[in-house]
Structure 1
């Protein structure tokens, strides 16, 4: 049980401050401000070998970052995400993970209150469905 608790609390690749978090990426550490997040999608890789969950964060300035389940600190990141976006369902990751190996892409948060089709089009340049 202690190992699991350590896994849940480990920062891993992340560092947290009151108004921001930073993430260690191949090019260096990048800081992101929670109040600049405009949209959050959650999904699951639909590859048979992984099926890992991910979160895509889109920011006001047009930048984006994908946080993957395989990253060290994933569980703590989920906890921080729910703390900074109270409307997020705490168990959204469990809901998305079934059925396995399907993307189950889900709009978790949108500051502009767009519908999922509109947010998909705006964020991923996908046509409206």
Structure 2
């Protein structure tokens, strides 16, 4: 399937049989409440069961009979196919960047910053702890004292890294693996510095002000 085909569908990442089982189970609870619970003596139990599991029935039936629903069982061939086309879309997406002949325009927080590659002074990579997972980040500093930050969740991340590696071939191609080795550690890593300073001097310049 092409990504356009997936985009037209409402993706549910679980087995259709799980949804069927949950819908039937919810239906049984609703039936039991109507058939066996005295709504006058136990109104709270009756209405709680009816509303809670009734919603489960309605939601289950909607998913099962909606022609746009596509159930994808995790670890299935279809899940792998979806992952591949989703990655390709994200990889080719320019996101917050527009590229020029000798540079780019990046839009961060609704502000545009136009830069040539030659204006980049220092690039630092690190990990940010988001409690349940880590994201790899880049801090980019310019010769004019400007800066911007992006991370691997930023639209256009992949294309920016590809162009960054082509523009600055001295950047170690395995830096992402190096940064991600230790979970939940910041792991500040200097990728590029126009003045050939070491990480300690860069930290002193940009992170200890």
**TM-score (norm: length of structure 1):** 0.88
Query: How far apart in 2 are the matches of 1:24 and 1:64?
Result: 12
Query: How far apart in 2 are the matches of 1:119 and 1:39?
Result: 8
Q: What residue ranges of structure 2 are gaps of 5+ in the alignment?
A: 1-83
Q: Deviations over 1:23-54 (max 9, x none)?
A: 12223322122101111100010232341111
Query: How far apart in 2 are the matches of 1:58 and 1:95?
Result: 21
Query: How far apart in 2 are the matches of 1:49 and 1:21?
Result: 33
4+ residue runs over 4 A deviation: none
Q: What residue number does 1:49 align with?
A: 132
Q: Deviations over 1:67-104 (max 9, x none)?
A: 11111111111111111111012221121112121111
Query: How far apart in 2 are the matches of 1:7 and 1:70?
Result: 10
Query: How far apart in 2 are the matches of 1:29 and 1:49?
Result: 31
Q: Which residue of the other structure, out of 185, 195, 200, is the alignment partner of 1:102?
A: 185
User: Cα distance, 1:3 vs. partner?
Assistant: 2.9
RMSD of the TM alignment (CA)? 1.5
Query: How far apart in 2 are the matches of 1:96 and 1:114?
Result: 19
Alignment of 1:23-62 (within 5 A): 23-62=106-145
Q: What residue number does 1:116 align with?
A: 199
Q: What residue number does 2:167 align with?
A: 84
Q: Which residue of the other structure, out of 47, 64, 77, is the alignment partner of 2:147?
A: 64
Q: What residue number does 2:13 align with?
A: none
**CA contact under 8 A between 2:125 and 2:136: conserved in structure 1?**
yes
**TM-score (norm: length of structure 2):** 0.56
